[in-house]
Structures are given as C-alpha cells and as structure tokens.
C-alpha cells in the first residue's frame, strides 16, 4: 500500500491540473498575443468619434471608420460612426431583427469617411449576426475589418460563429481577429468526471491490483482488449463509422501488441 500512495498522489495532482485547465478555458484565459499586438486598435476601448488615428503616419490611410456593437445581459450598446441618418435607421432595424427582446442604447454619430455603403452595411449585418450567437461580447469594425470576441451561448453557437468567420464573407469584409469562448456543456463535464474517476483512478487501481495478484502476462492482457473496446464505444456512442482502413488497421494493431507481449514473455 505504501508503494501505491505516491502513484495515487500523482493521479490526484493530474486530476487537479485538468480541473484548472478546464476552468482556465471557461474563464477565457487563452490568448493570442501576436494577433493582439498586430491589432492593438481593436483591443483598446473604442472611441465614439468617426475618425480614429491607428498609426503615426500621414495620408488618406491614417484614419479608420469605427463602429461597434456590444452585447451585455440586458441590452445592446452601439458606439462609433454611421454615414447617414438613413443608415442609422437601417442599422437599428438590423439590431431589432437580431435582438428583438433586448434594449438598444444608440450612441452612433453621423460622420463622413465611411467605406462604400453596401460593403459597410454588409459588414455591420454580418457582425450583428455573429453577435447574436454570443451570451455577451462585442463586434467591432475598423472600416470593413471585423473583430468578434465574447462568450458563446452554447457549443452549437460557438461552432456557428467559428464556421461563419472561416467561411465565405460578405464582399470586402476581412476578419481582423476573434476571441470566442464557450462554457463546457453537460457532456464535457461528464467526460471529465469519467476521465478522473473510472478512466484514471479506478482503472489504475485495478491494474495495480492485478499486478500484485496475477501473472504479469495476464495483467497486461488489457492491451488486447482496449483497441476493440475503444472502437466499439466510438461506433455506438460517438457515431463513428468503420471504414476499410479501420478494418485493416485493427488486426495490425492487435497483432503488433501480441508480438510485443510474446517477445517480453
């Protein structure tokens, strides 16, 4: 029993680190320092004026047209610039269509220097659609460069945003960056409990018990069973399909394990 205690302590430490990792993802600890450095203007608080200096240089490209929408628990906050009053009404209509039950705080200001109207409105519409998948977060535009960040409402919403940002984009729109997190769902928590409990502590304890009570050859026979069990669980619970390559690989793996065990014995 004294020999098993250090191993049990190590397993507890691994389980603790796994929990820390899960809560780290939950809190959005993952960062992209290179991206943030390249797009510092998107990380800093957005001004409410129309033209914001993004680089210390002169010329027509020294300023950008800023717009943002931020979703909080009870409403939507609109900041930045809008080309015309008609465009303001169009944007407010988009907001109401995506968030019919939320209160809208409109602090948009009419300013010149916007990108082409169709491109800009298309970028705004696309950003609002991604924001509708978030529990809280923001969509920010500098000209027609979009950054989206926040916490997705569910795993399905997370996948929708990821797919949209990676897929075909509206004309002229570019993705300046994204930082989307998603809270672990019930299946994720059950998977973690299984890995810590039956998958680690119980399985390792059973293996240690077999090593003490039976011949080593019999104790290591789990290596023959695991691949078959893993494939069976993948088909029945994970919805996986057995392809021709799988049928070829499975006997090769079992044969290789058998040869290794035979050589050791």
Domain-located, residue 23: no
Q: Which residue has the higher pLDDT, 14 or 74?
A: 74
Among 69, 66, 73, 137, which Cα is nearest to 97's? Answer: 69
Does residue 143 sit in helix, strand or coil?
coil
How large is the average pLDDT for residues 85-101? 94
Whether 35 maps to a domain, the answer reads yes
- 94 and 148 in a single domain? The answer is yes
Sign of the four-CA dihedral 78, 84, 88, 93? negative
Determine, yes or no, domain membership for 141: yes
Q: Tell me which residue range forms the domain holding 151.
A: 31-182
Same domain, 232 and 246: yes
Beta bridge partners of 82: 110
What value does the mean pLDDT take over residues 103-116?
A: 93
Structure tokens at 7: 């191993």
Residue 128 predicted with pLDDT over 80: yes
CA 171 to chain centre: 25
Residue 10 lies in a domain: yes
**With bands split at pLDDT 50, 70 and 90, how would you rate the model's confidence at 265?**
low
Sign of CA dihedral 102, 106, 107, 112: positive
Please give the pLDDT value at position 67: 96
Average pLDDT over residues 216-225: 74
Burial class (CB in 10 A: 0-12, 13-18, 19+), 131: buried
Q: Which of 119, 45, 124, 39 is nearest to 81 (CA)?
A: 124
Same domain for 87 and 165, yes or no, is yes
What is the per-residue pLDDT for 152?
Answer: 93
22 domain-assigned? no
pLDDT at 106: 95
Assign 264 a pLDDT band (cuts: 50, 70, 90). Answer: low
Choose between 186 and 151: higher pLDDT.
151
Which pTM value belongs to this model?
Answer: 0.56
Provide the number of structural domains found in the chain.
Answer: 2
Same domain membership, residue 150 and residue 216:
no
Residue 28 predicted with pLDDT over 80: no
Residue bearing the bigger pLDDT, 170 or 12: 170
């Amino acid at each position: 029993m004294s020999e098993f205690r250090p191993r049990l302590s190590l397993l507890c430490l691994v389980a603790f680190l796994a929990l820390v990792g899960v809560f780290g993802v939950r809190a959005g600890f993952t960062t992209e320092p290179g991206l943030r450095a390249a797009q510092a203007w998107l990380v800093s608080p957005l001004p409410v004026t129309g033209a914001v200096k993004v680089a210390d240089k002169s010329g027509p490209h020294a300023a950008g047209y800023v717009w943002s929408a931020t979703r909080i628990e009870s409403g939507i906050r609109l900041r930045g610039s809008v080309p015309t009053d008609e465009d303001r009404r169009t944007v407010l209509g988009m907001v109401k269509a995506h968030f019919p039950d939320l209160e809208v705080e409109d602090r948009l200001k009419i300013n010149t220097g916007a990108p082409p109207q169709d491109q800009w409105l298309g970028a705004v519409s696309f950003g609002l659609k991604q924001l509708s998948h978030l529990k809280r977060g923001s969509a920010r535009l500098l000209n027609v460069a979009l950054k989206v960040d926040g916490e997705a409402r569910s795993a399905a919403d997370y996948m929708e945003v990821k797919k949209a940002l990676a897929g075909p984009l509206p004309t002229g729109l570019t993705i300046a960056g994204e930082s989307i997190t998603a809270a672990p769902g019930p299946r994720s928590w059950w998977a973690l409990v299984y890995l810590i409990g039956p998958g680690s502590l119980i399985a390792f304890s059973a293996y240690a018990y077999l090593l003490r009570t039976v011949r080593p050859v019999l104790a290591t026979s789990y290596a023959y069973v695991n691949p078959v069990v893993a494939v069976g669980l993948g088909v029945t619970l994970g919805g996986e399909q057995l392809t021709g390559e799988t049928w070829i690989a499975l006997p090769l793996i079992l044969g290789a394990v058998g040869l290794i065990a035979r050589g050791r014995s």
